[in-house]
Amino acid sequence: MFDLKAIVRPNIIKLEPYRCARDDFKTGILLDANENTHGPALSEPSALELELELNRYPDPHQEELKQQIVDSRNGTPNMHATRKVTVENLCLGVGSDESIDMLMRCCCAPAREKLLVCPPTYGMYSICAAVNDVEIVKVPLTVPDFQIDVEAIVSKLESETGVKLIYLTSPGNPTGKLISVDTIISLLEKVQDGWNGLVVVDEAYIDFTAPPQDGFSQSMATLVNQYPNLVVMQTLSKSFGLAGIRLGVTFCNAQLSKILNSVKYPYNISSLTSDVALKATSPRGIAVMQRYVKSINEQRDLVLAKILALEYVGRNLGGLDSNFILVEILDKEKKPSNEVALKLYNTLAVDNAVVVRFRGNELNCTGGLRISIGTTEENQVMLSKLERVLLELNK
């Protein structure tokens, strides 16, 4: 039986959230927060900088922004969703990385409790685990389809004590492959009686996936009220093209959301960040995002077809659910080669000003090169230089 109090660390459960100045009053002559009332120290502040009152602390709750995010996800729910998400289901962070770290700090006692991951996966899980002194347990994704092995995960939970969190990346990084929603739901249902923990689905690339049918989404964000053991993380960094504002969104049951909002730093989302995010998550902003996604996906398919036609490129190792591809680089014997892939990566960057990512050391990704999809012009240059350098390396 799911029991959040048994998952979250006792000291966090008892935590009284910091009460900041803006919790009480937001208007009037504000002399309560030790702010500089003269305004921002800018020689020529713009109209926007003045309007945002940067000398004042930002809104600690960001309810207007949360409501827009909720409206956008409820507008295209997961086809399995029976309930809508609300503002009470959200916690905002400084990118998804803050949420990744915060969940560990809330749920995993250092040096005692554990995190389960399914490699190959996003590297920040391991970094945060090391910082928080949390042991990592691994259950690899299946090959060649890069899906989770539900039975192996359940078996691992039965044999390993102290696992509190499961982190899944869907679509995966570096795999670029969506994990089947039905498979994740199967995991949620299988573990809800015998294991008390949270399944965290990191959906940084979710907007690049093809919807199952009109009006629905592959995102699991709208399922958090049906499955209290589900947490879904998203970001504005990828599809919205706003990596520079650092905004992540965590969807979870209202009880856990209240805890996360108590743990987060009170003013973690700046006025500048929220102003841009409000524009991006408005209906007009979402329409722009969708146009960008359509263009990126079209270019992704074209780039992949041209790369796979090259002599020393093998398979498409990953999927077509993200704004990047993961391809296999071959040696002159036509075998996957980390040596050639690493040389290709370095030569492209150092001598050709084209920077991609070597991923060959990830599990089951031998020879892997991850290539983000750029503009049409950037992709053309990349393809030309990659072909030339790869031929030179395999002479």
Rounded to an integer, the average pLDDT of 200-204 is 98
The C-alpha atoms of residue 26 and residue 57 are separated, in whole angstroms, by 10
**What is the per-residue pLDDT for 1?**
74
**What is the per-residue pLDDT for 32?**
86
Give percent above pLDDT 70 in the chain: 100
**What is the per-residue pLDDT for 213?**
82
Contact 117, 155 (CB under 8 A): no
What is the CATH number that goes with domain 286-393?
Answer: 3.90.1150.10
Q: Encoding tokens for residue 155?
A: 């078996």
pLDDT digits (tens, 9 = 90+) for 221-260: 999 999 999 999 999 999 999 999 999 999 999 999 999 9
Beta strands 313-316 and 248-251 are unpaired
Map out the domains of the chain as residue ranges: 4-20+57-281, 286-393
Average pLDDT over all residues of the chain: 96
pLDDT digits (tens, 9 = 90+) for 342-366: 999 999 999 999 999 999 999 999 9
CATH architecture label of 4-20+57-281: 3-Layer(aba) Sandwich (3.40)
Calculated CA dihedral for residues 323, 354, 368, 242, nearest 10 degrees: -30
Among 11-20, 89-98, 267-276, 298-307, the minimum mean pLDDT is found in: 11-20
Predicted model pTM: 0.96
Residue 379 — pLDDT band, cuts 50, 70, 90? very high
Residue 30 — pLDDT band, cuts 50, 70, 90? confident
Residue 69 — pLDDT band, cuts 50, 70, 90? very high
**What is the per-residue pLDDT for 211?**
87
8 burial level (CB within 10 Å; 0-12, 13-18, 19+): buried
Residue 17 — pLDDT band, cuts 50, 70, 90? confident
253 closest CA partner among 78, 1, 2: 2
pLDDT digits (tens, 9 = 90+) for 137-180: 999 999 999 999 999 999 999 999 999 999 999 999 999 999 99
pLDDT digits (tens, 9 = 90+) for 113-132: 999 999 999 999 999 999 99
**What is the per-residue pLDDT for 31?**
86
**What is the per-residue pLDDT for 66?**
98
Q: In what order do the strands lie in the sheet with 368-372?
A: 313-316, 324-329, 368-372, 357-358
**What is the per-residue pLDDT for 159?**
95
